[in-house]
Chain A
Amino acid sequence: MSSAAAAIAVALLVGAAVVAVAWPFLSPDRGRPEDRLSEADRTRIDLLERRDAAYAALRDLEQDHRTGKVTGEDYTAEREELRREAAAVLRMLDDLDSKHDTAHREA
């Protein structure tokens, strides 16, 4: 490759790199607004995660029961405990929603 060809190739590479980096500032902004999570959002996500984990634990327990890993009495006790846990999380989610609605109305 001659020096001139190499210089042109490098210039093209640098030019393409500059365009790529500058492109987001030059193109029209069609993106969705930035996701902004408040502290309440984070608490809500944590609770939703705990709720989903409780549901998943219940599903696992069912599977363990069907495949014989958990015996009858253990199964009943475990299921009750997991249901209580899920219900507690759902109550916390309801409380959070009520607080949010109250704050929203007052605002």
Chain B
Amino acid sequence: MATVGSASLLVAFALAVYATLAAPFAGLRRDRRLTASAANAVIASFAATLVAAAALLIALARHDFSIGIVADTTSRSLPTGYVLSAFWASQPGSLLLWLTVLGGASTVVMLTNRHRNRELMPWVTAVLGGIMVFFSAMAAFVSPPFASTAGGTPANGFGLDPSLQNPYMVAHPPTLYMGYVSLAVPFAFAMAALVTGRTDARWLVAVRRWTLFSWTCLGVGMLLGAHWAYVEIGWGGYWAWDPVENAALMPWLAATAFLHSVMVQEKKGMLKVWNMVLVSIAFSLSLLGTFLTRSGVVNSIHAFVQSDVGIYLLGFIAVVIVLATALIIWRLPLLRSEHRLESIVSREATFLFNNLLLLALAFTILWGVLFPVLSEAVRDVRSTVSTPYYNFFLVAFGLPLLLLIGVGPLIAWRRASLGSLAKTFRWPAMSALAAAALLALLGLGSSPAGLAAISLCVFVTITIGLEFARGTAARRAISGGSWPGALVALIGRNRRRYGGYIVHLAIVLLVLGVTASGAYSTVREATLSPGDSMGVDGYTLTFLGFGKETGPNSTTTLARLDVSKGGSHVTTLSPGRRFYPVEGRVTNEVAIRTSVTGTDLYTILQAISADGRSVQIKTLVNPMVGLIWLAGAVFLLGALITIWPDPREARQIARRYAAALAREA
């Protein structure tokens, strides 16, 4: 298997090199056969990568411990699902996953553009091929997944990091990688548009759906990761501003900015340079995310992998930035705006402010991630940037962003008069102020930022509700029919707008969940012997005694806790400490009870006394944390509505080109 896998990677590399060299010639000579040949090379390179990936999966399934990463990340007792997900638990395996996803995305681009974007495609092929060259070179020569186990084949493997033995770790890394990697597609189209001078809206139409796909995958991937941290890491939180979490958040913020500014270019012919810059930043940040995850330069709960690919990745990021900057500067004359900003009270202005805030947040986070590394490099002192730094900027930039989410949809394009603003924002503003007063009366003023965030959530919810109500009424006035029918027709006829509003609702749910669980949570710790009780936020937890649970590769000691409220039994929770003999590690296994309002009673068995009689229990009550996971579902729904293809748009573009070419005929 190792021979076939290694040879396949060499074939994938050779084909990617051919595609990268042949495609520019094809573009310059307008040679359609050479273009098709380069595209086929990309597809064949993906096929060869798939063979390598299949070889690794077979080696994992067969417990072929002669291969280093199989021995390092699996064992015979590891459940089959985790044996297969160990594919991406190692550095070489995760690079192979990067290459596989990149090959898959590139293949879809080649197949769906065989008869479209003909001027752009040779250059798109060259850029995607170039990225494939880099990653296949890493997989074939620098960090080979089929390298032999040092010191001979062991009888059993060393097992998988217990924190990765969680169902979320089967889905989280591939989803996140699909997000990172597919950002290469918008970047490739942007570079192709610059090379060919075709900076009109066509490249935007070609990439908008890809950017939405990347952005959705990154968003869902981050939420899957947050849920994994919540249920697996066992400290009671879901986001720790860990550098690797930040690595996914930064490109997501840049992609969010792009998805908004692209509308300004389409509607007003403005922000053309800005959009090129945003696409380049988003892709560079996705590469940086890979660098942070794979180089081991940062301290992180995820930094389980260290190797020498970091320096190559850093060099590649530099090449990408230099290439993109040079092309943008070269094509500046073609990227002039067709209109000027007419008023700062307009929808395009709110999009511009939202872009600035999103980028400011992304670069603030970037500084927080890089500062410890730079500090160590320059002063030889490892500094840390802790949670208060990130929280400060999240509030400073996040609250105005939340306000803009509410303002944007209700403000007209070009300019809005004060009269219409007063009329439009009367009810949302009054509702937000009433909510703030009510929350203060209820004693929730202890966190001013939390109070402001919840009031703004009310403001945004009312604005979105009004948008749907007014839009549905207008639709019904035009076409008649029932209210639900008019609502469906409204969304169907303008999926981007109303899908976007649903995503905004998801952001509201997310903010509510994060604010409530962050600003108003309760924590208690106690040492309990059997029969002892502790109280937390109205709940009484009584330690009943120990339990035991045996898994295929672990044994768990459980602390059985009776949970009651007001004298009535609510549930029994059993947090535990799980021992993995092969890995030689012990992990906390938390127990959670979620109420109908999404509030979690979260219990952790922190320690068992040396005499085995008492336990140290940490209990948290996290209000409304369930809204965060609900936000994930709503986000996905909104994103899918937005991504769903609109044939009218494609027809309009096709008509433009047909009309232009028809004059020549």
Residue A71 interfacial (CB < 8 Å) = yes
Say whether B118 contacts A14, CB under 8 Å: no
Say whether A50 contacts B269, CB under 8 Å: yes
Residue B414 interfacial (CB < 8 Å) = yes
Please indicate the chain A residues that have their CB under 8 angstroms from the CB of B44 in the complex. 16-17, 20-21
Say whether B467 contacts A67, CB under 8 Å: yes
Looking at the assembled complex, report how far the CB atom of A57 sits from the nearest CB atom of chain B, in whole angstroms: 6
How many angstroms from the CA of A29 to the CA of B32 in the assembled complex? 9
Q: Which of B83-91, B320-328, B656-664 contacts A (4 or more CB under 8 A)?
A: B656-664
Residue A22 interfacial (CB < 8 Å) = yes
Looking at the assembled complex, report how far the CB atom of B4 sits from the nearest CB atom of chain A, in whole angstroms: 5
The residue from B43, B416, B470 contacting A70, defined by CB atoms under 8 A apart: B416
The residue from A46, A60, A74 contacting B417, defined by CB atoms under 8 A apart: A74
Query: Dominant SS at the B interface?
Result: helix
CB within 8 Å for A16 and B47 given contacts A61-B413, A70-B420, A71-B420: yes
CB within 8 Å for A48 and B4 given contacts A66-B470, A70-B412: no
Please indicate the chain B residues that have their CB under 8 angstroms from the CB of A64 in the complex. 412-413
Chain B, Cβ-Cβ closest to A33: B32
How many angstroms from the CA of A13 to the CA of B50 in the assembled complex? 11
Chain A, Cβ-Cβ closest to B201: A49
Contact with A along B8-34 (1 / 0, CB 8 A): 100100110010000000000010111
Chain A, Cβ-Cβ closest to B114: A31
Which 6 A-B residue pairs are closest in the complex by CB-CB distance? A24-B36, A67-B470, A66-B474, A20-B44, A10-B7, A6-B3
Say whether B660 contacts A45, CB under 8 Å: yes
Residue A107 interfacial (CB < 8 Å) = no
Query: Dominant SS at the A interface?
Result: helix
Say whether A56 contacts B3, CB under 8 Å: no
List B residues at the A interface (Cβ < 8 Å): 1, 3-4, 7-8, 11, 14-15, 18, 30, 32-34, 36-37, 40-41, 43-44, 47-48, 51, 115, 118-119, 198, 200-201, 266-269, 338, 410-417, 419-420, 423-424, 467, 470-471, 474, 477, 652, 656-657, 659-661, 663-664
Please indicate the chain A residues that have their CB under 8 angstroms from the CB of B474 in the complex. 63, 66-67
Say whether B268 contacts A68, CB under 8 Å: no
CB proximity to B under 8 Å, residues A1-37: 1, 3, 6, 9-10, 13-14, 16-17, 20-25, 29, 31-32, 34-37
How many angstroms from the CA of A97 to the CA of B660 in the assembled complex? 10
Say whether A48 contacts B7, CB under 8 Å: no
A-B contact number at CB 8 A: 146
Residue from B34, B43, B269, B420 having most chain A Cβ neighbours under 10 A:
B420
Please indicate the chain A residues that have their CB under 8 angstroms from the CB of B198 in the complex. 42
Please indicate the chain A residues that have their CB under 8 angstroms from the CB of B416 in the complex. 69-70, 74
Say whether A69 contacts B412, CB under 8 Å: yes
Say whether A53 contacts B419, CB under 8 Å: no
How many angstroms from the CA of A83 to the CA of B663 in the assembled complex? 26
Chain A contact patch, size range: 35 or more
Can you report 29 A-B residue pairs in the complex whose CB atoms are below 8 A from each other?
Answer: A6-B4, A9-B4, A13-B48, A16-B44, A17-B15, A20-B40, A20-B41, A20-B47, A21-B37, A21-B40, A24-B36, A24-B37, A29-B33, A35-B119, A36-B664, A38-B664, A40-B663, A41-B663, A42-B200, A44-B660, A53-B268, A56-B267, A60-B413, A64-B413, A66-B474, A67-B470, A69-B410, A69-B424, A74-B416
Looking at the assembled complex, report how far the CB atom of B49 sits from the nearest CB atom of chain A, in whole angstroms: 11
CB within 8 Å for A1 and B269 given contacts A21-B37, A24-B40: no
Say whether B43 contacts A20, CB under 8 Å: yes
Please indicate the chain B residues that have their CB under 8 angstroms from the CB of A84 in the complex. none
Say whether A41 contacts B664, CB under 8 Å: yes
Residue A52 interfacial (CB < 8 Å) = yes
Please indicate the chain B residues that have their CB under 8 angstroms from the CB of A61 in the complex. 412-413
Please indicate the chain B residues that have their CB under 8 angstroms from the CB of A20 in the complex. 40-41, 43-44, 47
The residue from B8, B338, B652 contacting A52, defined by CB atoms under 8 A apart: B652
The residue from B3, B423, B661 contacting A10, defined by CB atoms under 8 A apart: B3
Say whether A100 contacts B119, CB under 8 Å: no
